[in-house]
Amino acid sequence: MPKAVPCKRAALLAVLLCSASICCHAALFGDAAANPVAYFHFSIHTNPDSGQEMYGQYCAGCHGSNGQGLGPAAHYCTVPPAKLALLAKRNHGVFPANHVSQVLHSGTGKRPEGQGYMPVWAPLLQSINGDKPETTEIRIANLTEYVRTLQERPATPRKGHAAP
């Protein structure tokens, strides 16, 4: 059964490259006149210690550089990308780190339909970067921590005004 691993890697790499191709094509050729700065750079290898670098390469195309779900390829997704910057706000002010990590590991739990769905990142990261499983864990932890930094901060009340 040793041949199953290369086939599985090849299939995962094909899915990633197809997703990247859709994102790149959408960003490069779609609505170029309306949005002349819509471009997307994709690099396969990233630093596992840099959540920001990985987010920029793997996530920002759909979720946007600020996590608002408005990346250059977002409008090509059948299901709109999540607004990652609102995760803590929607979770009573607590960033759901375990949930983010779980989604990166296992996906959203929803069936992938159409184009631009959220991929299951753990096997993709391991396959495209040639990582050992422990390096993939480091990648997911650092991506999760970077998404934490994108959270919208609650507005601070101005002096003399009570908070609502």
Rounded-to-integer distance, Cα 55 and Cα 97, Å: 15
Q: Is the pLDDT of residue 10 over 50?
A: no
pLDDT in tens, 97-127: 999 999 999 988 877 776 767 889 999 888 8
Q: Is the pLDDT of residue 2 over 60?
A: no
Q: Which domain holds residue 28?
A: 4-149
Whether 163 is covered by a domain: the verdict is no
pLDDT in tens, 41-62: 445 678 888 999 999 999 999 9
Mean pLDDT of all residues belonging to the chain: 77
Whether 135 is covered by a domain: the verdict is yes
Whether 91 is covered by a domain: the verdict is yes
Whether 164 is covered by a domain: the verdict is no
> What was the pLDDT predicted at 139?
94
Whether 97 is covered by a domain: the verdict is yes
Which residues, other chains included, contact 21 with Cβ-Cβ below 8 Å and sequence gap of 6+? none
Whether 143 is covered by a domain: the verdict is yes
Whether 128 is covered by a domain: the verdict is yes
Please state whether the predicted TM-score (pTM) of the whole model is above 0.85. Answer: no
Plot region of 77 (φ>0 → left; ψ -120 to 50 → alpha; else → beta): beta
Counted domains in the chain: 1
Whether 157 is covered by a domain: the verdict is no
pLDDT in tens, 131-156: 899 999 999 999 999 999 999 987 66
